[in-house]
Amino acid sequence: MRRTPALIVGGGPAGATTALLLARARAPHVLVERSAVTGDALCGGFLSWRTLDALEAIGIPRGALNRDDIRRVRLFAGRLRAEAWLPRPALAVSRRRLDALLMEHAITAGAAVERGVAARSVAGLTAQVDGDAIAGDALFLATGKHDLRGLARPAEARGADPTLGLRVRLGPSPTLDRLVGGTIELHLFDRGYAGLAQQEDGTVNLCLAVHRSRLNEAGSPDALVRALGRDLPRLGERLAHRAGRATIDAVANVPYGWRADRGPAGLYRLGDQGAVIPSLAGEGMGIAVESGRRAAAAYLRDGPAGSRDFQRRLAHDLAAPFALAGAIRGAAERPALAAALTLAVRLAPVLAGIGAMMTRIRHS
Where are the domains positioned within the chain? 2-157+255-358
In this structure, what is the dihedral angle of CA atoms 24, 25, 27, 32, given to the nearest 10 degrees?
A: -30
User: Quick one: CATH architecture of 2-157+255-358?
Assistant: 3-Layer(bba) Sandwich (3.50)
Residues of the chain with pLDDT under 50: none
Strands 113-115 and 80-92: unpaired
**Measured between alpha carbons, how far is 310 from 268 in angstroms, rounded to an integer?**
8
- pLDDT (0 to 100) of residue 285: 96
**Measured between alpha carbons, how far is 360 from 364 in angstroms, rounded to an integer?**
12
- pLDDT (0 to 100) of residue 156: 85
User: Distance between alpha carbon 81 and the CA centroid of its chain, in Å?
Assistant: 26
- pLDDT (0 to 100) of residue 182: 96
- pLDDT (0 to 100) of residue 190: 97
- pLDDT (0 to 100) of residue 192: 97
Inter-axis angle of helices 350-358 and 335-347, nearest 10: 110
In this structure, what is the dihedral angle of CA atoms 225, 228, 233, 237, given to the nearest 10 degrees?
A: -10
Strands 2-9 and 132-141: parallel
**Measured between alpha carbons, how far is 128 from 60 in angstroms, rounded to an integer?**
32
Q: From 206, 210, 114, select the one nearest 162 (Cα to Cα).
A: 210
CA distances 107 to 60, 63, 113, 260, 354, Å, are: 14, 21, 7, 29, 38
- pLDDT (0 to 100) of residue 131: 82
State pTM to two decimals.
0.96
- pLDDT (0 to 100) of residue 243: 75
Q: From 238, 251, 246, select the one nearest 209 (Cα to Cα).
A: 251
Sign of the C-alpha dihedral computed for residues 157, 126, 291 and 295 taken in this order: positive
pLDDT tens digits along 43-59: 778 999 999 999 999 99
